[in-house]
Amino acid sequence: IYILLYKEVSLALKINSLYSKKKLMNIHENVKVLRYPDHLSSGIYLWSHHEKLVIVDHKICFIGGLDLCFGRYDTVEHKIGDCPPSLWPGKDYYNPRESEPNSWEDTMKDELDREKYPRMPWHDVHCAVWGPPCTDIARHFVQRWNHAKRSKAPNEQKIPLLMPQHHHMVLPHYLGRGRDVIDIEKNISESDKIGPDDYFSTRTSNPDNDNIPLLLPHETNNGPHSCSITGNSKDSTPNTQSDSDMQKQDQKFENISANDQVTQAGPRCLCHCQVVRSVSQWSAGTSQTEDSIHRAYCALIEEAEYFIYIENQFFISGLSEEEFIQNRVLESLYKRIMRAHTEKRCFRVIIVIPLLPGFQGGVDDGGAATVRAIMHWQYRTISRGESSILQKLCSKLGPLTHDFISFFGLRTYGRLFDGGPVVTSQIYVHSKVMIVDDRCALVGSSNINDRSLLGSRDSEIAVLIQDKEFIDSSMDGNPWKAGRFAFNLRVSLWAEHLGLNAQQVAQIEDPVADTTYKGLWLDVAKLNKKIYEDVFSCIPNDTIQSRWALRQSMSHWRMKLGHTTIDLGVAPENLELYENDELIITDPMEKLKSVRGHLVSFPLDFMSQEDDLRPMFIEGEFYASPQVFH
């Protein structure tokens, strides 16, 4: 078992990967753990390894946005409380808006008072991949592992180099270039050699690396398709899998029927699958920066016929004239919308993002500069300034803009315990998925920002899935062949967000028809948003447009309720509402019964009177590189 962990900058993150490494290595001697990068030697302080991968026997891979850590487990109900603990014990009862745990060692000790604070529900998308694409995904891991090994632990005998899937073996460590290695290398044919200029080579200028063979040969004197090495290691490598076995395995995956059910992961669908990445020299040892995720986003957007559905943790991008932000997802969206307008075609872009960044601190708090900085760049992308997509489109299309593109978040409510206070929280959108025309989907770890998309910054991986099996559906009122996987993924997400049961799913079959987009999606989002604002006055809120107004609102509700959450998420015991100038006092839960699903409109006017939410010179974040936030 090989586990590659991101080694954090301890001043910036409190995830304590060293503790995780020790716990994992204590499980069994076959568990090998590497943390990377070493910040001092590599000079990498700003960027992280961000991909989330599990690969089992080169046969099945799990890939997407879901981190293997506390606070990520959730259900489609997205329950807000757990008192007494049943589903989310200890640190799993997690709300980073209120408080990030300072330590993870005492895992069963609560970080939050469950009778006062809600957990922050978590929404994510991960997928399981079977068959030949697993070879590419595993090869990516091997490349990253070997680069980390060479860079950090070239003389660590317990940390082996790994083989690509073609060989199905582990390369033992050698301190020196023994005779056995030289004898083996004589048997390598020119076609099997992989030199330092190979795409997957991770050799550096470190002369010590010359003592570590990159790959074992395909054949040795021990017979075809097997390899045994002694050298300075007492253990020999396992036998390789024969080519005929691999061909049989590949054929088996080709013959998978769409009717095969895997109840834990959903139905399998035959698809074209392309692995795309963001990697560079520091993260994977490549000689060139790879930004194929960025290029996949832009290409899919440009080729979309009817609609684009995006869920992402961030939405920070730039138009062609943008100087600070380099990724061009926004420019691709703008051009595609303008083309649809010119052609007088129905075209929708629906984007779901977090209502607030998932970092500690109230929007007006002194220690929340990171929260405000991310808000600044996101609003700058969405609606504020000439470089925002809504302002640019409005200058060309006027009110028609909102027929083409709209932004949303997710929210839920409940009681913290039986008879306890009624509270609300955003459902944190952590997914990184784009669905186009119900025929293809991009699922992975990459956020829509420069950190994830440029390739030279955070390392990322995703899969571009294009359906090979199609079902009868409709698009803009006309018959349409929808991809089985993309359609089912989109419908399952929408049904959850809109609160639809199995009998109501037919209402969202056509994603762009007015009856779906305007009569259902927009109406539900607007109604839910209004109910939450009436009951909680929670933020973000379009009526609160400045930090001064936020201070006034926080002061009012703290005085009235005695206690509230950092985002004004506690309802009064008795709700006072005016209807036809008459005061009506009611139970807040009665009002909340009208909420459908979790979808809410994104508050575009929140903090709109604040010209610049970036860190000020009196805040420590002011002295960090602005690239950290976008």
Instruction: Write the single-letter amino acid at 352.
Output: V
Q: With a cut of 80, say whether residue 183 has pLDDT above it.
A: no
Q: With a cut of 80, say whether residue 462 has pLDDT above it.
A: yes
**At CB < 8 A and 24+ separation, what contacts does 510-513 make?**
510/473, 510/474, 510/475, 510/476, 510/477, 510/480, 511/306, 511/307, 511/309, 511/348, 511/350, 511/438, 511/475, 512/306, 512/307, 512/346, 512/347, 512/348, 512/475, 512/476, 513/474, 513/476, 513/477
Q: 156 or 220: whose pLDDT is higher?
A: 156
Which pLDDT value is given to residue 233? 34
Q: With a cut of 90, say whether residue 169 has pLDDT above it.
A: no
Q: 163 or 242: whose pLDDT is higher?
A: 163
Check: CB of residue 354 under 8 Å from CB of residue 313: yes
CB contact set of 630 (below 8 Å; sequence gap of 6+) = 316, 324, 325, 374, 377, 449, 450, 451
pTM for this model (two decimals): 0.86
Q: What pLDDT, in 10s, does the model give residues 204-213?
A: 444 444 443 3
CA distances from 128 to 14, 71, 211, 463, 474 (A): 30, 21, 38, 10, 27
CB contact set of 234 (below 8 Å; sequence gap of 6+) = none
Check: CB of residue 5 under 8 Å from CB of residue 21: yes
Q: 470 or 261: whose pLDDT is higher?
A: 470
How far apart, in whole angstroms, are the C-alpha atoms of residue 566 and residue 95? 11
Q: What pLDDT, in 10s, does the model give residues 580-625?
A: 778 889 899 999 999 999 999 999 999 999 988 887 767 777 667 7
Q: With a cut of 70, say whether residue 7 has pLDDT above it.
A: yes
Answer whether the bond into residue 267 is a cis peptide, omega within 30°: no
> What does the angle CA 578 – CA 579 – CA 582 come to, to the nearest 5 degrees?
70
Active site residues: 50, 52, 57, 430, 432, 437
Q: With a cut of 90, say whether residue 329 has pLDDT above it.
A: yes
pLDDT band for 44, please (50, 70, 90 cuts).
Answer: confident
CB atoms within 10 A of CB 235: 10
Q: Which of 201-205, 401-405, 572-576 has the highest mean pLDDT?
A: 401-405
How far apart, in whole angstroms, are the C-alpha atoms of residue 280 and residue 287? 7
- Please report the domains of the chain, with CATH numbers, ordered by start residue: 2-67+128-248 (no CATH), 269-601 (3.30.870.10)
Which pLDDT value is given to residue 10? 77
The structure tokens listed for 10 are: 């301890």
The answer to whether the Cα torsion of 68, 451, 129, 247 is positive or negative is negative
Q: With a cut of 50, say whether residue 439 has pLDDT above it.
A: yes
Q: 83 or 258: whose pLDDT is higher?
A: 83
Q: With a cut of 70, say whether residue 410 has pLDDT above it.
A: yes
Q: What pLDDT, in 10s, does the model give residues 243-278?
A: 455 455 545 544 544 444 434 445 789 999 999 999
Q: With a cut of 60, say whether residue 62 has pLDDT above it.
A: yes
**Across residues 131-138, what is the average pLDDT?**
93
pLDDT band for 174, please (50, 70, 90 cuts).
Answer: very low
Q: With a cut of 50, say whether residue 386 has pLDDT above it.
A: yes
Q: With a cut of 60, say whether residue 105 has pLDDT above it.
A: yes
Which pLDDT value is given to residue 103? 82
Helix (H) or strand (E) holding 472: strand 470-475
Mean pLDDT for the chain? 85
**Across residues 84-98, what is the average pLDDT?**
95
Identify the weakest region by mean pLDDT among 116-130, 160-174, 515-529: 160-174
How far apart, in whole angstroms, are the C-alpha atoms of residue 142 and residue 378? 35
Check: CB of residue 414 under 8 Å from CB of residue 423: yes
Which pLDDT value is given to residue 252? 52
Which pLDDT value is given to residue 324? 92
Which pLDDT value is given to residue 79? 97
Q: With a cut of 60, say whether residue 513 has pLDDT above it.
A: yes
Which pLDDT value is given to residue 577? 81
Q: 83 or 166: whose pLDDT is higher?
A: 83
Identify the weakest region by mean pLDDT among 99-113, 136-150, 253-267, 592-606: 253-267
pLDDT band for 165, please (50, 70, 90 cuts).
Answer: low
How far apart, in whole angstroms, are the C-alpha atoms of residue 321 and residue 332? 13
How far apart, in whole angstroms, are the C-alpha atoms of residue 66 and residue 591? 34
How far apart, in whole angstroms, are the C-alpha atoms of residue 282 and residue 143? 12
- Percent pLDDT > 70 in the chain is 82
Identify the weakest region by mean pLDDT among 17-26, 36-45, 272-281, 356-365: 36-45
DSSP-derived 3-state class of residue 284:
helix
The structure tokens listed for 555 are: 């002061």
**Across residues 328-340, what is the average pLDDT?**
98
Which pLDDT value is given to residue 104? 83
If you search the block for the tokens 């398709």, which residue do you land on? 225
Helix axes 389-397, 369-382, angle to 10 degrees: 20
